[in-house]
Structure 1
Amino acid sequence: MSESIKLLLIKALSPVHCGTGQSVGGIDLPIAREKPTGIPLIPGSTLKGVLRSGPNRDEGLHRAVFGPDTANASEHAGSVQLADATLLFLPVRSARGTFAWVTSPYILRRFGRDAREAGCSELSPPALKSDEGKATVTGGALRIGDLGDKVVLEDYDLESAVSKELERFAGELAKVLWGADGDAAEERGHFAARVCVVHDDVMALLLETCLEITTRVRLDPDKKTVVKGALWTEEALPVETILAGLALATPVKQPKPLRDGGPDRYEAKALLGYVQGLATGGVVQLGGKATVGRGLCRMTMVG
Structure 2
Amino acid sequence: MYQLAKPLIFISATPSHVGAGTDLGVVDLPIQRERYTGFPKYEASSVKGSLKDAFYALAAKSKEDVADRAELQHPNGRFGKINKQMIEDVFGKDEQADHASAIAFTDARILLFPVKSLKHVFVWITCPQILSRFKQEMQLCGIDLSTYDHNLEGTIPQGSDLIISGQGVLLEEYLVNVQQSDECTKWANWFSENLFPSSDEYQYWRNKLTRDLVIVPDDVFRDFVMLSTDIVTRVRIDRSKGIVKEGALFTEEYLPAESVLYSLVIASPVLKSKDEGLSDERFASAQGVIDFFAQFLPRVIQIGGNETIGKGITRTHLIEDGRKQTIEV
TM-score norm. by structure 2 comes to 0.84
Q: Which has the higher strand share?
A: 1
Q: How far apart in 1 are the matches of 2:147 and 2:247? A: 49
Of 76, 82, 100, which aligns to 1:77?
A: 100
Does structure 1 residue 118 correspond to structure 2 residue 141? yes
- Alignment map for 1:23-38 (pairs within 5 Å): 23-38=23-38
1:263-283 per-residue CA deviation (whole Å, 9 max, x = no partner) reads 43321111022222333x221
Q: How far 1:181 moved relative to its partner?
A: 4.8
Closer, same or farther: CA 230–124 of 1 in aligned 2, 3 Å? farther
Deviation readout 1:187-243 (Å, 9 max, x if unpaired):
211122111110001111111111000000111224332110111000010000000
Q: Deviations over 1:151-190 (max 9, x none)?
A: 0112221211112222222222222233335553322111
**1:58 & 1:4 partners in 2: Cα distance?**
23
Corresponding residue of 2:174: 156
8 Å CA contact retained: 1:51, 1:278: no
In the other structure, the counterpart of 2:113 is: 90
Q: What is the SS of the residue equivalent to 1:230?
A: coil
| Superposition CA RMSD, Å | 1.9
Q: Structure 1 residues 25, 267: CA separation in 2 closer, same or farther (over 3 Å shift)?
A: same
Structure 2 residue 224 is the aligned partner of structure 1 residue 212: no
2:290 to 255, 269, 272: 272
Q: Distance in 2 between matches of 1:32 and 1:283?
A: 21
Distance 1:254 1:114, change over 3 A: same
Give the gaps of 5 or more residues in structure 2.
60-81, 323-329
1:249 partner letter: A
**Equivalent of 2:163 in 138, 143, 152:** 143
Q: Which amino acid is 1:102 matched to?
A: I
Q: 1:61 aligns with which of 81, 86, 101?
A: 86
The residue type paired with residue 287 of structure 1 is G
Tell me: CA distance 1:262–1:16, structure 2 relative to 1, closer, same or farther (3 Å).
closer
Deviations 1:4-61 (A, max 9, x none): 1101110000001000112131100000011111111111111211221221333343
CA gap of 1:232–1:248, structure 2 versus 1, over 3 A, is: same
- Equivalent residue number for residue 299 of structure 1: 316
User: Alignment partner of 2:215: what SS?
Assistant: strand
The list of structure 1 runs, each at least 4 consecutive aligned residues, that deviate by more than 6 angstroms after superposition, is none
The question of whether the paired residues in 2 share the 8 Å contact of 1:109 and 1:125 is answered with no
Q: Tell me whether 1:192 sits opposite 2:217 in the alignment.
A: no
Question: Which amino acid counterpart does residue 103 of structure 1 have in structure 2?
Answer: T
Aligned to 2:5: 5
1:202 is aligned, of 209, 212, 220, to: 220
CA distance in 1, matches of 2:272, 2:84: 13
Q: Which letter maps to 2:161?
A: A
| 8 A contact 2:299–2:317 mirrored in 1 | no
Query: What one-letter code is carried by the residue in structure 1 that aligns with 2:223?
Result: L
The equivalent residue for 1:223 is: 241
Q: State yes or no: 1:106 paired with 2:129.
A: yes
Q: Secondary structure at the match of 1:229?
A: coil
TM-score normalised over the length of structure 1: 0.91
| Gap change, CA 1:262 and 1:89, over 3 Å in 2 | closer
- The sequence identity of aligned pairs, in percent, is 32
1:174 aligns to what? 192
**Does the aligned pair in 2 maintain the 1:115–1:123 contact within 8 Å?**
no
Q: Is the 8 A contact 1:13 1:240 kept in 2?
A: yes
Q: Could you tell me how far 1:149 is from its partner in structure 2? A: 3.9
Greater CA drift, 220-229 or 175-184 = 175-184
Distance 2:254 2:146 in 1: 27
For this pair of structures, how many residues does the alignment match? 294
